[in-house]
Structure 1
């Protein structure tokens, strides 16, 4: 019989509180974090050891929370009364400045950025810095099934290469850019939302030329 550890229960209950505060399901946060829903559920129910920092980083991404919050809950951080000497220094190469863009459209030379909203600092871990990146401010509710909501910041890697099913920033001729799952075949491109109230959009023949893939979604961030 499994003996429940009070520390595991406390940590799990706090993770559940954070998830429910944002209105996320276990499946949504687990998918965003890249871990299994079963594991996430076990953590919330106190049936797993407190995750290691590398897993906490993933869970923080899934929750759209600062990882230091989870580190504190896991008792991995020094108390606020301790000095900054305890903190791990961040080297210049560990971060990049990324522009925040409110709107993307098709321009004469490809993608045109509009409504510049400043920059955000992004940690480079997990990024291929040979590519350029930008944050696209999400507009609308078409991707809520993937835990992506209106006002979220979507980190986009500027590339036209993707695998079928990837979430990409797509520009349809004459429209503003949007996030959609993209599936491409020899004779069609299908844009699929994750909110079932939006039907797929299918482009065939010459209509395929109306689409511009401006980049692939890397991760999202929620601003409060």
Structure 2
């Protein structure tokens, strides 16, 4: 997943390459975005390479190339999902995140939700994280799912079938499972995007943690 500034740098490199057949220099990137030094330009290049958006071409000047557009995908964030007490299921896309197709696989349709609560911490899903969901109506025992119960209440839990009922199991030993006769599955978790303050780009505000389109 890219930050807002990383998307801007990536778009600049992609546009520059389409016009010139080679990538901009670190100094050109620095001037374009008024960065403090070329080392900051290198920082953004490294982030984009690590995220799979740039390829490094060895033994060539200005040796980076953009990954083909078909390998990246924008995923809509449809709201929040409770990792705790169920909340009303709302699907109103207001943002997108940009990730590589390799991160989520090539099959199926996907959407993303912000996590609220701490019921899934033992699965490495924390309050404020974003989970990417593959849309599907069935799930295997033990998969982490978006489950809708009762009066359109959505929750993020591990799903189990036992004794003719469904058990929605939190991954937090201090919380109790939820049992229901009927559960509507709206997808399974395929990727977790961590919300780490310590990994924010230098000079980035708290409101720019996720890509906004």
What TM-score, normalized to structure 2?
Answer: 0.57
Equivalents in 2 of 1:164, 1:142: separation in Å? 18
What residue in structure 2 maps to residue 188 of structure 1? 165
Provide the secondary structure at the position in 2 that maps to 1:145.
Answer: helix
What residue in structure 1 maps to residue 190 of structure 2? 218
What residue in structure 2 maps to residue 123 of structure 1? 100
Question: 1:86–1:186: structure 2 CA closer, same or farther, 3 Å change rule?
Answer: farther
Equivalents in 1 of 2:140, 2:132: separation in Å? 17
What residue in structure 2 maps to residue 199 of structure 1? 176
Question: 1:93–1:186: structure 2 CA closer, same or farther, 3 Å change rule?
Answer: farther
Equivalents in 1 of 2:161, 2:76: separation in Å? 29
Question: How many residue pairs get matched?
Answer: 141
| Unaligned segments of structure 2, at least 5 residues | 1-43, 83-87, 196-208
Equivalents in 2 of 1:92, 1:129: separation in Å? 14
Shift of 1:112: 6.1
| Unaligned segments of structure 1, at least 5 residues | 1-65, 106-110
CA contact (8 A) 2:71 2:102 kept: yes
Equivalents in 1 of 2:89, 2:107: separation in Å? 21
Q: CA RMSD, aligned part only? A: 3.2
What TM-score, normalized to structure 1?
Answer: 0.54
Provide the secondary structure at the position in 1 that maps to 2:91.
Answer: strand
